[in-house]
Structure 1
Amino acid sequence: MLTEPQNRISSKALTVWRISGVIRAVVEWSIVATAIVLLHIFEGPQWISIILIILGVIFTILHILIFPSLRWKRWRYEVREEELELQEGIFIRTRTLVPMVRVQHVDTVQGPILRNYKLASVIVHTAATMHTVPALDEIEADELRHYISKLARVVEEDV
């Protein structure tokens, strides 16, 4: 039986994801407000406005309170000599193995919100796709990037 990856991302990811949820909620409420105004102008049925408001409240709660917590609890990773294992997913749990021999290069990225909380994400590129380990402490992200890069070079030299 395979054990799940042991490393967690930073708990500050919760705050970052909640801020992203607030931004998403503002956009959603702007759309809801626009729809309600248009319904009022064109004398549409009032029950549609009520449904839009209820859905807006539900999605706001989901994006700000529930999804970030569930996402953080599920997100794990582990770096081994021959592979990187990632586990993520709220409703559908996805476990991904990235062989080191497939790694082409590794980046760290920081947007303004991550930078404010001294976090960075590590992106592992392969020929086919890229895999992200989100919201690690800056120092941990840099160390992980160097470690994966080193392992990928060693594996490549062995081939």
Structure 2
Amino acid sequence: MEPQNRISNKALTVWKISGLLGCSITWILSIAILVLTIIFDWTYWVFGAMIIISIIQSYLTIFLIPSVKWKRWRYEVRNTEIDIQSGIFVIKRTLIPMIRVQHVETKQGPLLRKYELASVEISTAATMHVIPALDLTEADELRHYISKMASVEEEDV
């Protein structure tokens, strides 16, 4: 049974804006190659190739990947474990036992803050797990709940 909770719908907007910012570098390079092509009278196939690459990258990073990523991202926090599902082409499932949780924190960058979202970072001895782009109140409640359950698990041992 896959986890039931989804991340916020606003994550799509944040990921699309991030993709747009990333694509802007490729578009700037394309314009620079066009200028160099005109100045040095290079063949136009180089510019054409850059435009095709820029269009494909823009479609993937602004439209396709954010929507697939949002559809795949799920999580569920139970009394004894945290179940996380993520991935775009390969779906990854992670079960984190509460007894292994060392600390939990929320994190916001400028885009997440603008859309009132936060990511929950769960640290274990070996790794860090992230549940991205939750509504701010949900992220705070989840952080408190996980830290409470992790403390309860440690006291029971």
Both structures adopt the same fold (TM-score exceeding 0.5):
yes
1:66-85 matched pairs, under 5 angstroms? 66-85=64-83
1:21 aligned residue (16, 19, 23): 19
Q: Structure 1: which 5+ runs fail to align?
A: none
Q: Which of 133, 136, 140 is the equivalent residue of 1:135?
A: 133
SS at match of 1:48: helix
Aligned positions of 1:32-111 closer than 5 A: 32-41=30-39, 43-111=41-109
Q: How big is the shift at 1:39?
A: 4.9
Aligned to 1:115, the other structure's residue is in SS state helix
Give the 3-state SS of the residue equivalent to 1:90 in structure 2.
Answer: coil
Alignment coverage as a number of residue pairs: 157
SS of the equivalent of 1:78 reads strand
- The CA deviation string for residues 50-86 of structure 1, in whole angstroms up to 9 with x for no partner, is 1110010111111111111111110000001111111
- Structure 1 ranges of 4+ moved more than 6 A: none
Cα-Cα RMSD: 1.4
Aligned partner of 1:25: which letter? C
One-letter code aligned to 2:118 = A
Residues in 1 aligned to 2:89 and 2:50: alpha-carbon distance in whole angstroms: 24
CA distance in 2, matches of 1:158, 1:40: 72
Match of 2:110 in 1: 112
Aligned to 2:154: 156
Task: List alignment gaps of at least 5 residues for structure 2.
Answer: none
- AA aligned to 1:60 is S
Offset of 1:38 from its aligned partner?
4.2
CA distance in 2, matches of 1:83, 1:35: 52
DSSP-derived class of the 2:126 partner: coil
